Structure 1
Amino acid sequence: MTENTHRGGLVSIGELSRVTGVPVRTLRFYCDNGVLESRRSSGGHRLFDPLTAVDQVLLVRRLRMLGLSLSAIIEVLTGTLTTADAIAAERAALDTELGLLSWRRASLRAVEEAPPAERARRLELLASVHDRHRAHDTLVTFWRTLLAPIPPALFDGFVTMNIPHLPDDPTPQHIVAFAELTTHIADPACTAAMSRQLWRTNPTRIHDKLALVTGVAEACAAVDSLGTQPHTGPELDRFIDAHATARRDRDTPRLRYRLLDDAPDNDPRIHRYWKLTTEITGTTTAGAALDWLYRALAQWADDVHPR
């Protein structure tokens, strides 16, 4: 028992500081902020139970070194949060912060590396999508509106394949492509072209939109696995059948010609949208599959049933 140890087994703040290596002023700070409990002597000095206080102070110091907030540490000490959960929450918050910093760094580099004549336009473009989560949500909303009434499971699959998430450490090129992509869909002419690529007509003329979206998705999935030049076959037949079913029609040359005539697939806005998406995702998109099906339909018209 030292000179700073009091009756009842309690220790002074100086003794607790000596044992734990934590400065007295820090211990006072912990007490004042509700992190560490103490009692008062008759003279008003802080006293601590060495059986619990030492372990608590050491735990607080270690958690603080990992960057945990005092509020999280208090929850750990009171048992409302486990140490593992507190650390997991801090890591998740750090991951989010690092993602924001990576986005910001890549954005700064994108402006810095732009030719002087393009720098002002680049700055304006990137400023319009400074919040990448909101920009991603804008893309999701765009497609949710366009694809309604697609089932949630099918839509989630479409999102995974066709709406890009930026990598954890994006390049300036990724940032610029993503920014241009999200501003691209703000153009009503682009929205109209993308709608026509999907429906091949005014959407109000489609009797069964769900059947069309489902059937076209199946045709696109089949195309994605081919990796060949466009040609007539079961993939194109499935595509035509989806449109016929949705229109309460049959697969006839007349329908095929109508789908070909109504196709906007050569619209540069569509090509630009899917090109930007591919630059970010690095994967085959629905746009590439739809283009394959359009060219297969054109091949059918030229080689099999010339007008």
Structure 2
Amino acid sequence: MSSDAMWSIGELAEQAGVTVKTVRFYSDRGLLPEAGRSGGGHRRYGPDAIDRLRLIRSLRTLDLPVPEVSRVLDREDALEDVIAGQLRELGSQLTVLRWREAALQLLQDCSPEERADRLRLIGGMTTPPSTAALARFWRRWLPPRLPAQVAAAVVDQAVPQPPDDPTPAQVLAFARLHAFVSRPCRADERSQPEAHRATKGYRPAVLYEGLVEAFALAEVPMRAQRSPHDGEALDCFVAAYARSLGARDTADFRRRLSGLLAADPRIDRYWQLVAELKGPSEPTPGAAHDWLCAALDAQAA
């Protein structure tokens, strides 16, 4: 250290094991304040500069951006928030890399004839994929003027979240799912269930609020691999239709409902792809609907 108890930029760089250029870089950005200047205008640093410089280097070793390093230096309590933010960002980056790896593996493990089609499917979505197209599909498919809270609950239940660490098969399932929902939407009323038609007397808000609950209840016996049967889930399912029509839940109503649901249009391809994405242990709302209809059919018979 020089006789005036101040470090020159060269002395500080030597003691810290960095270059003069590095010290100047941090000084110019306000991370390493100068304690003063020599008579010749050269930078001088106080005794605490070496510890501050070492802290800066440690933070930069973690790839923290300069503004985040500045936050930590200015506020002692900022380090925890900065670390949490960096971990979130790193997690997002790792998810991107895992999706890319699985997509490349998918392309590597197929025949040349399949590769062009799979490449087209993968190219139609972002990496990692967004669920926005799926949510739009459901908001178009649902009856108009459905209360926002009910629509949000249906969409949340129907739209699967992409896994953070997908297999190649899951990448393919999501790519196909994205392509399925991105096709032009048909306006043909016959593609909509009876409950969507204003002339049929349903109250869709009442119906869909009840269906969200019924599907959730059905997941319990489905996970236990129980066959379709009477019980709370089926009662909730039928009650949703009965309330929406202002009808009573009777044996005759259940028989008629069984026939109506059997004639409704279906979007089985969507639920098949969701099942491929989520895996066999996770029931989908589509599978729950089929399970409940099977229970209703058995009872009606």
> Same fold by TM (over 0.5)?
yes
- Distance in 2, matches of 1:64 and 1:192, equals 60
Q: Please say which of residues 20-29 and 61-70 is displaced more in the overlay.
A: 20-29
- Distance in 2, matches of 1:41 and 1:259, equals 92
Q: In structure 2, which of residues 242, 245, 252 is the aligned counterpart of residue 244 of structure 1?
A: 242
- Distance in 2, matches of 1:193 and 1:54, equals 76
Tell me how far 1:70 sits from its aligned partner.
1.2
Tell me how far 1:68 sits from its aligned partner.
0.6
Conserved? CA contact 2:153–2:212, under 8 Å: no
SS in 2 for 1:173: helix
How do residues 35-46 of structure 1 correspond to structure 2 at under 5 angstroms?
A: 35-38=31-34, 39-46=36-43
Conserved? CA contact 1:240–1:256, under 8 Å: no
Q: Which runs of 5+ in 1 are unaligned?
A: none
Fraction of identical pairs, as percent: 36
Tell me how far 1:108 sits from its aligned partner.
1.8
Tell me how far 1:213 sits from its aligned partner.
1.4
Q: Which residue of 2 aligns with 1:290?
A: 289
- Distance in 2, matches of 1:296 and 1:25, equals 75
- Distance in 1, matches of 2:228 and 2:217, equals 12
How do residues 133-212 of structure 1 correspond to structure 2 at under 5 angstroms?
A: 133=129, 135-145=130-140, 146=142, 148-149=146-147, 151=149, 155-156=152-153, 159=156, 162-187=158-183, 188=185, 195-196=192-193, 200-202=195-197, 205-212=200-207
Q: Which residue of 2 aligns with 1:223?
A: 218
Q: Please say which of residues 209-218 and 252-261 is displaced more in the overlay.
A: 252-261
Conserved? CA contact 2:228–2:295, under 8 Å: yes
- Distance in 2, matches of 1:238 and 1:76, equals 54
Q: In structure 2, which of residues 46, 49, 53 is the aligned counterpart of residue 49 of structure 1?
A: 46
- Distance in 2, matches of 1:85 and 1:258, equals 55
SS in 1 for 2:221: coil
| TM-aligned CA distance change 1:193 to 1:114, over 3 Å | farther
Conserved? CA contact 1:200–1:259, under 8 Å: no
Q: Which residue of 2 aligns with 1:74?
A: 70
Conserved? CA contact 1:149–1:209, under 8 Å: no
SS in 1 for 2:44: strand
- Distance in 2, matches of 1:218 and 1:41, equals 76
- Distance in 2, matches of 1:110 and 1:136, equals 21
Tell me how far 1:237 sits from its aligned partner.
3.8
Aligned length: 290
| TM-aligned CA distance change 1:190 to 1:297, over 3 Å | farther
- Distance in 1, matches of 2:102 and 2:274, equals 18
